[in-house]
Amino acid sequence: MLFFLLFLGVPLAVYVMFVVSPFVQSFYYSLTSWSGLSPSMEFIGLENYRRIFADDVFWKSLRNNLILLIVLPTVTITLAFALAVMVTIGGDTRGGVRGVRGASFYRVVSFFPYAIPAVITGILFNFVYHPNGGLLNGILNLPHDVLTWALGSSPIPAMNIAWLGDQKFALGAIAFAIIWTFVGFYMVLFVAAIKSIGQEVLEAARIDGAGRFRTAVQVVAPMVRDSVSTALVYMGIFALDAFTFVSVMTPNGGTANSTKVVSLHLYQTAFQNGRFGEASAMGVIMALVTMVVAVLVITVIRPKKADR
């Protein structure tokens, strides 16, 4: 009994107090009309949910979240796994399986973006994407600048693309910043998982004539499936949030809400418009969506007992 109280009861009580209780409170608030400041709140049932489902901005925001949900985990995990394979088994196989030369350096450098606070990363990419004097436009304008310097004029027009102001590019520009931030972290995660694979397994694959690509796909990938599923769940949860990057890089959600996500719409509804009940309803909806996504990923990707 004492063991239960100390090691199970206390953590369970903390979990109920700080996780379950706020969620239950949010659900109750979602059934009310509340400004967030007034001590009184009017019970209105499912009216907030009706408003949300009739709100075009909410559906546009949810669409952007779903795009990020597809793009971010797919690209980030694929790049991270490829880099992890390169620094663990991608080197010269003569004398054994090893990573490329300088693998330790690559691991350290690739982790740097993740160590930078997301707000700082968002500000840095704002400068990179700036239409006048930004790094990206500067690189794209190099041919124009060189020809202008050499010939006095250039047949190639100068490009001053507003990457975060153009609806065609804005969401992709933010997605690139997020991918740049997280690839190194998940690479380190996969490197640790690959390192746990017995060296004799990789050596056997090499002796059987499997190349690096075949070894990565047919040997390494199945053996690190748990790590991949965990990474997909976390990236999926982040894609359904993405508040920090979007709010820093496009504070109002971009041109025609082209980059607005549900978390930003929720924030504006609560703190700018004073509709905390409606914002709570959005939070409940996104919590349910997030749980469904997490369960689906774990169910589909993690191996069944018969496969272990």
Where do we find the tokens 């390494």? 220
Judge whether residue 248 has pLDDT over 60: yes
Higher-pLDDT residue of 94 and 52 is 52
| Closest listed residue to residue 261, CA positions, set 40, 85, 62 | 62
Where do we find the tokens 């997301």? 118
Do 151 and 173 contact (CB within 8 A), yes or no? no
Cα 5 off chain centre by:
37
For position 74, what pLDDT does the model report? 96
Question: How much is the average pLDDT of 79-108?
Answer: 77
pLDDT band, very low/low/confident/very high, at 152 (cuts 50, 70, 90):
confident
Q: Is the dihedral of CA 168, 171, 174, 178 positive or negative?
A: negative
Q: What topology does CATH give the domain 42-117+171-303?
A: MetI-like fold (1.10.3720)
| Closest listed residue to residue 86, CA positions, set 108, 111, 107 | 107
Judge whether residue 133 has pLDDT over 80: yes
* Residue 191 to residue 182: CA distance in whole angstroms: 14
Q: What is the pLDDT of residues 198-235, one digit of tens each?
A: 878 888 877 777 777 888 888 888 889 889 999 999 99
Judge whether residue 2 has pLDDT over 90: no
Long-range contacts of residues 224-230, Cβ cutoff 8 Å, at least 24 apart? 224/190, 224/193, 224/194, 224/197, 225/301, 225/302, 225/303, 226/193, 226/302, 226/303, 227/189, 227/190, 227/192, 227/193, 228/77, 228/81, 228/190, 228/301, 229/297, 229/298, 229/301, 229/302, 230/189
**Domain-wise residue ranges, the chain:** 42-117+171-303
